[in-house]
Amino acid sequence: MGSQNGFTLSAFADEISPDLDIQVKTLARLNVPGLDLRSVGGINVLDLTLEDLQRVHDACAEHGLHVQAIGSPVNKVTYDPLHEAREFDRLHRAIKAAHRVNVKRIRIFTPMVQEDRMDADAARVIAWMSAQRNLAADEGVVLIHENDDRYWGAHPANAKRLMESIGSENFRFAYDFANTVLQGYRTLKDWFPWLLPYLDTLHIKDAIEADHKIVPAGEGEGELVDTFTWLKAQGWSGPLTIEPHLAAAGPTGGFSGEQLFEVAVNALRKTASEAEIHV
């Protein structure tokens, strides 16, 4: 259920419901073929058993879906050398989960760094991420770094330095429109075109900076239509991963519920249509 333009749909299905059955049935009903696995039954993907993971894989297959990515919380910690080994171990767990559900993409972050330490700690953060990139290469998976609005790599200058240092086929980018707006940046002025060679996935939610509010695609300042139009002209292809956060947003995820999730899907399709993209 991709598109002729190479844009495909996926979603963080725990935004719909904690219940796996409701997640997959809703995705199937709305013709969203990909599931980004972040949690099931309120249990984070890193804590799911191998049996749980197999159940997700089988439920997707039964409904004509596939797991698109592991939505891990790896590196969602403050920068501290004492945290590095633990996050490396957590990445190992995310990789085992990816192998179990037959997927290569694993969403990760960079650690949080104090505002006055952004430059001073940059080399250490990049070294931290480089070790994880090397593990990904050894394991045959692709780490996709998200610009979450509270972490080092959310700032374009930091992200550019990171990707130019260690970007590779095993270390790519998941660009989030809303997180950009909430940090006071803008998509086309601050992130493109330099991000294009590293771009793997677009996380779809929008935001209004002044209200610090997350809104459906096209209703905020994320510049989604212009970005889709530009990416189409560049020949880019990849997943549009719906992450609405319309009812709640927290440190390890968000929630929308079935009704607001459908609002988010419809808003994305309308926005994509304005860019003459059909998904």
Task: Write down all domains in the chain, each with its CATH number in brackets.
Answer: 7-274 (3.20.20.150)
pLDDT in tens, 85-136: 999 999 999 999 999 999 999 999 999 999 999 999 999 999 999 999 999 9
Place of tokens 């956060």: 245
φ/ψ (deg, to 5) at 205: -155, 155
How much is the pLDDT for 16? 95
* pLDDT > 80? residue 207: yes
Alpha helices in 63-176 (DSSP H): 81-100, 122-139, 156-166
Q: Are 90 and 47 within 8 A, CB to CB? A: no
How much is the pLDDT for 264? 96
* pLDDT > 70? residue 4: no
Under DSSP, the state recorded for 23 is H
In the predicted model, what is the mean pLDDT of residues 177-200? 97
Distance CA 109, CA 149 (A): 10
What percentage of the chain exceeds 90 in pLDDT? 92
How much is the pLDDT for 86? 97
* pLDDT > 60? residue 1: no
Distance CA 116, CA 244 (A): 31
* pLDDT > 60? residue 48: yes
How much is the pLDDT for 252? 64
In the predicted model, what is the mean pLDDT of the chain? 95
pLDDT in tens, 222-259: 999 999 999 999 999 999 999 988 877 776 677 788 99
How much is the pLDDT for 149? 83
**Three-class DSSP category at 68:** strand
Distance CA 240, CA 275 (A): 14
